[in-house]
Every structure is written in C-alpha cells, then in structure tokens.
Structure 1
Amino acid sequence: MSFAPGELPAQFAQHNLNIDRIEDAGSWSSKRYNVGPQCIEPVYFFNVEHENTTPLLRYMKWGVTPKWASQKPQRLSTFNARYENIERSKIWSHCLDHRCVIPIEGYFEWKTDSSKNKQPWFIRRKDQKLMFLAGLYSITSDGKYEYTIITREAPKQLEWLHSRMPVVLEPGTCDFDNWLGLEDPNWRKLSGLLKVHEKDDLEWYQVKKEVGNVKNDGEDLVKPINQESLQGFFKKEETKPVRSEVNDSIKDEEEKNSLSQETGTHSHQEPVIKKEEKDIKESPTKRRKNSTSATPSLRKKQHAITDFLGK
C-alpha cells in the first residue's frame, strides 16, 4: 500500500466508506509499492463495540497461522485461501466468523511463456481507485492479527494470465455489506457472495521483474515497462532520412519493392535492387568503351582520304 495510514480515510471516502479508527499502524506508516506474504498491511472489517457496529482499519500480517499448528515455522501456504476448500479445510474453520476486505491499489501476477521465462504483470482498476479483496482474519493466542486473501477461478478476460485471481468485492453492494456482516457464519450463504469478477473495470500491463523480491521497493515497480523505448522507436522511424534517387525508373522500382515488403513478399526484392545498382555502376564504363571503339573507324577513314589525295 503506497498510502500512509493518515491518507487512507480520504481514499475510502471515494467509495463512501467510513473508518472509525486505525489500529496497530505503528511503524508501518511508510509507503510500500511491493508487498508479499508476512508483510504488515491494512485490513478493513466490522467490530461490535458497545452494541454498535464499528468499521475498523487494522494493520495485520499477511498469512494465517492455523490454530492447531505448533509454534515452529510452518510450510503451509496460508496467505491465500482457495474458495473451493474453505468449507472443508480445518485451517479456515475458526476464521469464518472473522471476515474482512483488504484494500489494495493492484496486485502482481506472473506469466510463464513457452520458453519458461516469467514476466510479472500489474493488475489494477482503470480509474486507479482502491480495490477491495475478500479475506478472512485470525487472532493468535498472543493477540496478534493475521489475514488471508480468498481466490477463485479467473474470469475469461484474465484466463490467459493466470487460472485464478483474488475475489473482488465492490463497496456499496449487498455482497460487500453482507460479507462484512456480523451474522452467524454459514458458508453456504457466504459462498454465494464471492463471485467471479466479470466486470470490465480492470487493466493490466508488464512491470519490472524486481517485484519478485519484496526487499525491492519504489514507485517504478508499478509503472509499465518499455514505454520509453517504444516512444524512442517511433521517433526514430519518423526522422529516418529519405535516400535520394538517381532516376525515375529506380524510384518506381523501389516503390514496387516497398509494397512487396508490406505484404510480406521479400523473395525477389533484394535481387531487383542489386540489378539496378549494377546497371548504375556499369553504365558509365559501357559508355567509355563505346567512345573508344569509334576511334579506329575514324582513323581508317582519314588514311583512306590521304592515300587518295597522294595518288
């Protein structure tokens, strides 16, 4: 999150959301553009205080520690919760009554090509407002807060990038309000609120591979790559000098070759150009040979006249 805690209320207000207070911000007030598991980030949820529902924003660790797990480091990937497994997995059984949304500016996804090269992409809203992802949070035995993000299958518009994506909830909708509600947790009812994101409100572009290490940070990590190089390429094309032509026939021939190149037919282009260049180089030589070949004929005529007059 690149917004400091004090800047978030204004961002929430764009979605008509209120924040009663922000908890555990502490030293996490600095802006971050690259966030990964185990990082501390803001989470939005409802709480009951004095019989009233209070909207809170609390900074929590990304990744849930199962209640039954020991204090030793776990190898479980609990920073994401698969929609299909939530009801039958005991990892999330104690979280169903602790529902939340995670505000983000966008998220990274990696695409692997046929050469097994990985390229990161950044997905965000077209209007660049905050996105809200459905999540669950947990409170550890020592009072620490942790959260996970719920994922399900990706919509058709993003299947080419990855088969799954986070579940997005839109503020101001019944799904958003009911997900954060404090009713008795019933997964059969709750699961109907978490739909595949079919709205055409997202955009995506390639970013630097340095985002793969959460130690790297900076605004340049969420900016599109190759933008400057593309602009430079088109600028060079526009200022490319035009070669002067020797005569009209060569100019006409080059125009024909240019048309052939645009349609993808290159086979005869190079031989034609070489032939024309050869004619240009050889024509002066041929003219010189023709001029010297006329000299013996003139000398023969002069000798014939001299011999005639001598007689």
Structure 2
Amino acid sequence: MCGRMALTLPHDAMVQLFGAAPANDLPDSPRYNICPTQAVGVVTSDGGQRRYRPMRWGLVPHWYKTPTDGPLLINARAETIAEKPAFRSAVRERRCLVPISGFYEWTKDARDNRLPWYIHPKDGGALVLAGIWQDWQRGDESLTTLAIVTCAAGAGLDHIHHREPVSLAPDDWAKWLGEEGKGAAPLMQAAPKDRFEAYRVDPAVNSNRAQGPELIEPLDDGGE
C-alpha cells in the first residue's frame, strides 16, 4: 500500500519534467511527510494539454454526502479497480501521475513496534505513481481528490510489505494519461526488482505532525 509520501524536488522541476502548465495553488515543497487528506501535486492531461495541479489525497466518490461519509480511499487495488463502483469510472476516464521522491512503509519488531522504512528510486530522481481522480461537490463545497493505484509487491519490496504503489516509467506516462489511446491495464504491475532502495528511518515519522529532512535519513543500524 502507500500511506505516507515525501516530495523533496521543486515544483519547477516537475513542471519541466512533464511539460505541464502549473497551477497557482500548489502545496509547499519540499515536504517530508505527506499524509492522507493533504494536497499533493499531480499531472493530468486534457486533449494532450498537461496540467500540474493540486488534489486532495483520499478519493471521495461522487455519492458521498460529505467527504467523511465513508472510508478514506487513499489506495485503489489494481486487481479490482475496474469493478469497484468508487474507482471504475475514474480508471477509465480520469487517470493522473503522482510524482514524489519516495514513500514510507512499515514492518514490526518482536514487541509489535512499528518500524518505518523509506523507499525511493535508486537513481534519486522522481518516482511517478499511477493515480486516479474524482471531482466531488455538495452545495458550495467542492473537492478534487485522488487515490493511488497499488498492486502486489514485487521481489524488490515484498520483504517489507505485501503491496506497493504502481510506479510508471517515462515511456508509460502518456499511455497512463490517455494520450496514447487505451491499453493502460498492463501498466498496473510491480516495479522491477532493482528500481528501489529501501532503508529504515527514524520512528519520528510515525507521527503525522513530523516534518524535516531528517525523516528520510537512514538509521545507522537501518536495513538495506
């Protein structure tokens, strides 16, 4: 799954990377502990015109009477995304790219303590996740929200967690955005084994209030 993220790269770099027009209300960057319900910058495409714009992390289906009317849908399972009422329209019509620097996952020790890991591309560049999005409105209140697509973890990460976010190589960005026709389903698979570096980080990140570059620094006795 994916429940916390970091974006340390500047928005200008994201705009240049994707050839997208930036919105004026993008969230601050860098951010080292992005949590569900917070805004993240995502890339969408309308007729081939790309936009880099903010969305609230946690998809709100159109039938919710309030944003908290049901479960917080931060992830969408690739195996069932085309069948679930909350996701099936979005995966056909409203796909987006979610560029981040890395994400966090947790294991537990023998005393049931939660041990955070930071996972990021070995090359240090942007990690581009597959997302879906949905507009929601009731009266004067409106939100644009997203969920991140997940799949069974591959050999590179399955020792940490049984799920991982779907990450997209540059050659796949246009197809996921719908700029190159249909056929995005095969993209919803685990990353190659050698894409990621994963290591233990300070448990301070367990608090959703924690911020700062020290959150992504490896522990001296951390993992691989």
Residue 33 of structure 1: SS of its match in structure 2? strand
Question: In structure 2, what is the equivalent of residue 91 of structure 1?
Answer: 86
Check if 1:18 corresponds to 2:14.
no
Structure-2 residue corresponding to 1:5:
11
Paired residue type of 1:35: I
Look up the SS of the partner of 1:9 in the other structure: helix
Between Structure 1 and Structure 2, which shows a larger proportion of strand residues?
2
Q: What SS class does the counterpart of residue 8 from structure 2 fall into?
A: coil
1:148-201 Cα offsets, whole Å, 9 max, x none, are 100010012211100000001001x2x3321111577x7xx4322212212412
Shift of 1:8: 3.0
- 2:98 match: 102
Q: Which residue of 2 aligns with 1:153?
A: 152
Q: State the TM-score, normalizing by the size of structure 2.
A: 0.86
Distance 1:146 1:22, change over 3 A: same
Partner Cα distance (2:33, 2:55) in 1: 16
Cα displacement string for residues 255-311 of structure 1 (whole angstroms, at most 9, x for unaligned residues):
xxxxxxxxxxxxxxxxxxxxxxxxxxxxxxxxxxxxxxxxxxxxxxxxxxxxxxxxx
Distance 2:67 2:44 in 1: 29
Question: In the alignment, which residue of structure 2 is the partner of 1:197?
Answer: 191
> Does 2:136 align with 1:140?
yes
* Whole-angstrom distance in 1 between the partners of 2:177 and 2:159: 31
The structure 2 residue matched to 1:81, chosen from 76, 79, 83, is 76
What CA distance in whole angstroms lies between the structure 2 residues aligned with 1:178 and 1:6? 23
1:34 is the counterpart of 2:29: no
Name the CA distance, whole Å, in 2 between partners of 1:93 and 1:202: 29
How far the C-alpha of 1:75 sits from its partner, in A, is 4.2
Q: Please identify the structure whose Cα radius of gyration is greater.
A: 1
Residues 63 and 78 of structure 1 are in contact (CA less than 8 Å); yes or no, is this contact kept in structure 2?
yes
AA matched with 2:82 = E
Task: List runs of 5+ in structure 1 lacking aligned partners.
Answer: 230-311
Pick 1 or 2: higher relative contact order, CA cutoff 8 A, min separation 6.
2
User: In angstroms, what is the RMSD of aligned CA positions?
Assistant: 2.1
1:114 aligns to 2:110 (yes or no): yes
Aligned residue in 1 for 2:163:
164
Deviation at 1:216, TM superposition (A): 0.9
Q: Which amino acid aligns with 2:125?
A: K
The number of residues matched between the two structures is 212
1:167·1:196 contact (CA, 8 Å) conserved in 2? Answer: yes
Closer, same or farther: CA 151–85 of 1 in aligned 2, 3 Å? same
User: Counterparts of 1:181 and 1:197 in 2: how far apart (Å)?
Assistant: 21
Correspondences of 1:249-264 after superposition (within 5 Å): none
* TM-score, normalised relative to structure 1: 0.63
* Percent identity over paired residues: 28
Q: Is the 8 A contact 2:128 2:169 kept in 1?
A: yes
On the 8 A contact 1:24/1:59 being kept in 2, the answer is: no
Structure 1 CA distance, aligned partners of 2:10 and 2:173?
A: 24
Query: Against the structure 1 CA distance between its residues 204 and 214, is the aligned structure 2 distance closer, same or farther, given a 3 Å change threshold?
Result: same
Paired residue for 1:241? none
Q: Are the equivalent residues in 2 in contact too, given 1:5–1:25 (CA < 8 A)?
A: no
Where do 4+ consecutive residues of structure 1 move more than 6 Å?
none
- Long gaps (5+) in structure 2: 1-6
